[in-house]
Amino acid sequence: MSTAAKRQRKKDNARAARQETEAADRRSKQVRKIRNFTVIGVLVVGAIVLINSCSGDSSSSADASGPAASSGPTAASGPAKGSGTQAVIETNFGEIVVDLDTENAPKAAGRFIDLANDGFYDGLTWHRAVPDFVIQGGDPNGDGTGGSGTPPVVGETPTDGYPLGSLAAAKAGNEPAGTFDAQFFIVTGANGTQLPPDYARFGIVTEGLQVAQQIEGLAPGGDGPPTEKATIEKITIRKS
């Protein structure tokens, strides 16, 4: 083989080697691209699955809490608890314990505390019971016409309604919203939770709601005096 032919063969071999190297490099780059896309795809899919999972949990919680909350009132919400002041209402059917909201309703709660400490309520009756609504007491006349004999106060009305177990001031329809003389009521049923925000609310029952509902059960089929005598034996104010 001539010298010229040998040089040409070397050139051809070098070109072929270079082309093979370039081809290998292209293949390597392609593999890296595919691998990167695969990793990104896995991460994206994982993120989508996680987002859907979280969305599913939120919606399940909403479905569980939404209809359940609207199906009937509970005593879990309402006036702030933990104010440190309680009223123990002793009745001839048992005790009703109320957390008084002295923080958000100082005027109304203060009025109730003063009357209770003076013994005003001791021995009075629950003169009114309405099915699925309220029981009412605190009237020395026993018929809904009496008061304390002192000027009433204008207490604090709620912005979040009257949850089951709410303790609030009773008033005449022509009196200003929040007026509190002496009479009060406890919400015992769903209809009571629909009251307009006209009545000073100053507490929530924490124990003995069933006692109040037992007295409500003595309603005369409508609005009126219980069919069996129900009394407020004594109201004691204490620190919890």
Q: Which of 39, 71, 103 is the last residue of a domain?
A: 71
Does a structural domain hold residue 79?
no
Residue 78 forms part of a structural domain: no
Counting as low any pLDDT under 70, the low residues of the chain are 1-83
pLDDT of residue 79: 52
Q: What is the pLDDT of residues 83-94, one digit of tens each?
A: 699 999 999 999
Same domain, 61 and 174: no
Please report the pLDDT score of residue 24 as a whole number.
46
pTM score above 0.75: no
Considering only CA atoms, which of 111, 100, 190 is closest in space to residue 155?
A: 111
Q: What is the reported pLDDT for 190?
A: 98
Taking the C-alpha atoms of residue 85 and residue 114, their distance in angstroms, rounded to an integer, is 13
Instruction: Assess whether 124 and 222 both reside in one domain.
Output: yes
Do 135 and 209 belong to one domain?
A: yes
β-pair partners for 86: 99, 238
Q: How does DSSP classify residue 220?
A: -
- Within this chain, do residues 61 and 123 fall inside the same structural domain, yes or no? no
Do 173 and 232 share a domain, yes or no?
A: yes
77 located within any domain: no
What is the residue range of 214's domain? 85-239
DSSP 8-state class, residue 37: H
Q: What does the pLDDT read at residue 240?
A: 77
pLDDT for 147 equals 97
138 and 113 within one domain: yes
